Amino acid sequence: MQKRDYYDVLGVGKSAGDDEIKKAYRKLAKQYHPDLNQGDDEAEVKFKEVNEAYNVLSDGDLRARYDQMGHAGVDPNGAGGGQYSGGFGGGGGFGFDGFDLGSIFDSFFGGFGGNQRANAATRGENIRTAVTLDFEEAAFGCEKKIAVNRIEECHTCHGNGTKDGKPAPVCTQCGGSGTVRVQQRTPLGMMATTGVCPTCHGKGRVIKEPCESCRGSGLEKNRVELTVKFPAGIDNGQTLNQRRQGHAGQNGGPHGDLLISVNVRPHKLFERDGNDVHMTQDISFVQAALGSALEIPTLEGKVKHTIAAGTQNGKVVILKNKGIVDVHNKGKGSQYVHINVVVPTDLTEAQKELLREFEGLPPKKKKKK
């Protein structure tokens, strides 16, 4: 049977933070736990599936491999080596566990890879920042202007690194590849390898007069203001990923991402639990005894609700679809209204006598003068 996407298993997005993943896992693990679903084979399968997904997504390295290669990246029997493999190629056979292949080739041939790819397109670094939203802003979504320091293409030379802003001439020694063929004597005999071009230092182009603004790097740091749209339902601790809004790449590589950690201010009345909202509604003991029509505040305004006579303290009234919309568009939560019957502390003597009469108690004796 084909495995489901781990993010779908936990019901989170691919930009979910560690806290969101942990919260989703705990909820599902409790829901499908074998002790609570004895004899339910389907629940047992889902419990194992949830644990497998969490083991991968809660581990930074495994999650990175999964995001890049999918299940093959974390499958011990797959090509990625995955979650349990011990070395190059995994399993038994003729592996290279404990050997640094890069060091071996460095000592024999002066290295390969690394600097010879100095002219390769490189993705820019991510930028991490944080923003604080009001409770309602997170519930209904909003737009915010965010200022960040970002490495961008030099505005003077347009990223070319040259004084005149034009592309630098192609290196005549390597023809723009950044590498040259080198023959070296090794313990294994004469071997031809590819090395870094000594003229352009692997860049493929030679800058004779560098740009004065960026000193030939083609990059500069700027303070930029971005308008970011936060989706309705985003929660405290989640991370919003703005793709390609991070630092500029090199040699034509793409920008990195802007990762925004979201903090949500507490509300004076409402408390959030997932997509549900909880609040406490005070009523008098007369309202509780006789019943009453109430106006209950919600995130969308007040709604009318009638409580029955004899309502007890601690009763929970559920208002369907009055919670918060799911950030992944999977419905809307409810509002849970916890009834709190308030006992008065400043009754008059007349009110006290009425209560004694109601309870069948004898009237309070008057003090003799």
Query: Does 66 fall in a domain?
Result: no
pLDDT surpassing 70 at residue 80: no
Kindly state whether residue 367 falls inside one of the protein's structural domains. no
Domain edge (last residue) among 216, 231, 264: 264
Report pLDDT digits (tens) over 153-166: 999 999 899 999 99
Ramachandran assignment for 364, one of left (phi > 0), alpha (psi -120 to 50 degrees), beta (any other): beta
Does one domain contain both 216 and 243?
Answer: yes
* Tens-place pLDDT, residues 51-67: 999 989 988 888 888 88
91 within a domain of the structure (yes/no): no
pLDDT surpassing 60 at residue 88: no
CA dihedral for 121, 123, 125, 129, sign (positive or negative): positive
Q: Give the number of other Cβ atoms within 10 Å of residue 18's Cβ.
A: 13
What is the DSSP secondary-structure string of 290-349? H-EEEEEEETTEEEEEEEPTTPPTT-EEEETT-S-B-TTSS-B--EEEEEEEEPPS---H
* DSSP character string of 15-36: T--HHHHHHHHHHHHHHH-GGG
CA distances from 345 to 95, 120, 313, 338 (A): 80, 78, 17, 22
Position 74 scores a pLDDT of 78
**Count of domains observed in the chain:** 3
| Any domain includes 305 | yes
Banded model confidence at residue 41, pLDDT cuts 50, 70, 90: confident
Q: Are residues 121 and 236 in the same domain?
A: yes
**What would the pLDDT profile of 241-255 be if each residue is shown by its tens digit?**
999 999 998 888 899
> Does residue 103 carry a pLDDT above 70?
no
The sign one gets for the Cα dihedral 99, 102, 103, 105 is positive
Please, are residues 267 and 280 in contact by the beta-carbon 8 Å criterion? no
Q: Supply the mean pLDDT for the chain.
A: 83
Q: Which domain holds residue 201?
A: 101-264
Task: At 197, list the tokens.
Answer: 């071009």
Mean pLDDT of 311-328: 95
